[in-house]
Amino acid sequence: MWDVAIVGARVAGSVCASLLGDRGHSVLLVDAARFPSDTTSTHFFRGAGLGSVLDRLGILERALALGAPPLDRQYVFHGDDPNPAVEEAQDPGFLGSCLSVRRLALDAVLLERARTAGVGVWDGTPARGLVRDATGRVVGLTVQRDGATEEVQARVVIGADGRGSAVARWVNAYRESRHRPHGRGRMIR
């Protein structure tokens, strides 16, 4: 029996697991991916956002040592104007800049941090469904581990499995739909 089972071991899942593990909770982190593995996702993080979280976890220096270039400005294109407006970085926080960190390296640092907090990490272990008690309350999850289906009991299950979250689907979570027009990027030479 785990206190918490988290589906998704990348940024959100690893950070959540580390914070809960630091507080003495028994935490299991499961992910279908085998680590190290890259992912199609952003490499951009705000200094006031993930930068401050990495500092809180005591791993900011390790993340900076990965060679993340400090981003202290951004180039924004408005309308059809081919010339960008140069603006300050978005939410640079105490770092004074944002970061661009390769996910392959960052995910490895975050998973190592989770392990030091006593978190169990089962990579290569896809979650297949939720376990419910007779009242319908979620009491764990079903995973595919080493070729066999296994039930994991947990007091709390957290879905940190991204935009297309299977956990959210399984609990029929409310999904707010927001539409914002997409910006455009352009290479500056």
> Between 25 and 45, whose confidence is greater?
25
The pTM of the full predicted model, rounded to 2 decimals, is 0.86
> Between 43 and 181, whose confidence is greater?
43
pLDDT of residue 181: 61
- The fraction of the chain above a pLDDT of 70, given in percent, is 93
Residue 5 has pLDDT above 90, yes or no: yes
How do residues 112-146 score in pLDDT, each as one tens digit? 999 999 999 999 999 999 999 999 999 999 999 99
pLDDT of residue 187: 45
Distance CA 77, CA 84 (A): 5
Write down the domain spans for the chain: 1-39+104-184, 44-101
CATH of domain 1-39+104-184: 3.50.50.60
Mean of all residue pLDDT scores within the chain: 89
pLDDT of residue 179: 65
pLDDT of residue 104: 87
pLDDT of residue 180: 63
Instruction: For 53-116, give the DSSP string.
Output: HHHHTT-HHHHHTTTPPEE-EEEE--TT-SSPEEEEPSS-GGGTSEEE--HHHHHHHHHHHHHH
